[in-house]
Amino acid sequence: MITKDEFRAGATAFLEGNAKRRVKASQGWGEGSDEVGILPERTPEEDAALVAEAKVWRAKVFDAGFAWITGPEAYGGRGLPREYDRIFQGLENEYDVPGMGPFGIGLGMVAPTILAHAIEDVRQHYLAPLYRGDVVACQLFSEPVAGSDLAGIQTKAMRDGDEWVLNGQKVWTSGAHYSDIGEIITRTATYPDSRHRGLTMFLVDMKAPGVEVRPLRQMTGGASFNEVFFTDVRVPDTMRLGDVDEGWTVALTTLMNERMAIGGGGVGSGLDLAGRLRALTRHMGLADDPNVRQQLADVLIRHSVNRYTSLRAMAKMRAGQLPGPELSTLKLGLTNNMQRMSSVLTSLLGPRLIADTGEWGTYAWADFVLGVPGMRVAGGTDEVLRNIIGERVLGLPKS
């Protein structure tokens, strides 16, 4: 196996040859991009341009062998341990490269589910293109009547020979407007003794006849999510993930990976939030103010605690154990700290948070502050995660 030093040298040579070193926001005021949005305000054209740019970078990284470092070689991965992935992520963070947001759901949730539950042909067909950025995937779980209570979904799939016919509606589907495939949970049967049985998971072609994607505008001004309507959409049985009526098990694989992707620092991790907040405090001449220092110390300490919890959860996974409730703790810790950051920013910036004066690094935080509530809902709401922690970690009676 390639040594870590050899790997690091190869990765550095690739990055030096293909990207520019980034000026970190924390290293200087007014340099580099000041975008800190989690669900930023963008037009569909801006979204499309960013996806196209991200695809070009992703393909280069994949072709150089750095896009699926831990993946099985049989499917186009490099078969290396997680430390190598962390080495590359650490190095890549030093360079000004396109954001990988459009691939977050596909790689964080859908691809691991395909690897675990799809038939061999489907794995061979989709995994490498997903990691290369040629195929983008979305997650079609939530419905108007089923969010936290996912087992209440009503989208139906009826068998018709070697195909299934899908009818129903999904909502809050992030990135559906630029996705090629979606992982969709459907109801295929009703069992009187269990709502979790009778669900079946599929991969659906988002360009298939009968799929209609309509944007939903969020309070940041952008439209990251969509409603997706399915009318007599035909899906081959080969695109089924897992067994018929046993889609709940498949959903759990996706949801565990979702919590890991959000809680493990996937969201906002490339934004250097802690560094930017420190830089802002210094820029405003408040770095010596005892009250501000106290608030800043509070969020920075919690930031570190989350990082260590994430490392602990990953170490557990490396050791072959299943990380369970600590992933819920992690996601809750991360998003609660984002909420604290929002409060600190609101008191630091005052009117500059809501009026664009053109001053670098000030109004840009509005996108962050308006995006945080969404993060507290996505991937398990605060309340639902508290229930899980109460019941599974603390052993309290069921609510």
Ligand X SMILES: Cc1cc2nc3c(=O)[nH]c(=O)nc-3n(C[C@H](O)[C@H](O)[C@H](O)COP(=O)(O)OP(=O)(O)OC[C@H]3O[C@@H](n4cnc5c(N)ncnc54)[C@H](O)[C@@H]3O)c2cc1C
Query: Applying CB under 6 A, does 126 fall inside the site for ligand X?
Result: no
**Residue from 119, 284, 384, 389 binding ligand X (CB under 6 A):** 384
Under rule CB under 6 A, residue 155 binds ligand X: no
Task: Give the nearest residue (CB) to ligand X.
Answer: 147
Which one, 155 or 310, has the nearer CB to ligand X? 155
Which stretch in 152-160, 167-175, 308-316, 320-328 sits in contact with ligand X by CB under 6 A?
167-175
Cα within 13 Å of Cα(130), Cβ side: 29
- The phi-psi region of residue 76 (left if phi > 0; otherwise alpha if psi is between -120 and 50; otherwise beta) is left
The nearest distance, CB 341 to ligand X, in angstroms, is 17
**Residue 163 or 382 with smaller CB distance to ligand X:** 382
Q: Return the residue of 297, 383, 392, 396 that touches ligand X, per CB under 6 A.
A: 383
Give the interface size with ligand X as a residue count (CB under 6 A): 21
Query: Which of 65, 108, 147, 222 is close enough to bind ligand X by CB under 6 A?
Result: 147
Cβ nearer to ligand X, comparing 61 with 369: 369
Residue 170 CB, shortest distance to ligand X, in Å, is 6
Per CB under 6 A, 139 contacts ligand X: yes
> Stretches 1-9, 52-60, 81-89, 379-387: which one binds ligand X (CB under 6 A)?
379-387
Positions 99 through 118 that interact with ligand X (CB under 6 A): 105
Part in contact with ligand X (CB under 6 A); list of ranges 29-37, 304-312, 334-342, 373-381: 373-381
Smallest distance from ligand X to CB 387, Å:
5
Q: Which stretch binds ligand X (CB under 6 A): 95-103, 172-180, 206-214, 350-358?
A: 172-180
Q: Rg (Cα) of the chain, in Å, rounded?
A: 22
Could you say which residues in the range 1-40 bind ligand X, by CB under 6 A?
Answer: 39
φ, ψ for residue 232, nearest 5 deg = 50, 45
- Does 169 sit near ligand X (CB under 6 A)? no
Q: Are 198 and 189 in contact (CB under 8 A)?
A: yes
Q: Does 381 bind ligand X (CB under 6 A)?
A: yes
Give the contact letters, 331-370, x = binds to ligand X (CB under 6 A), - = no: ----------------------------------------
Contact 110, 137 (CB under 8 A): yes
Residue ranges binding ligand X (CB under 6 A) = 39, 105, 138-142, 147-148, 172-174, 225, 374, 377-378, 381, 383-384, 387, 399
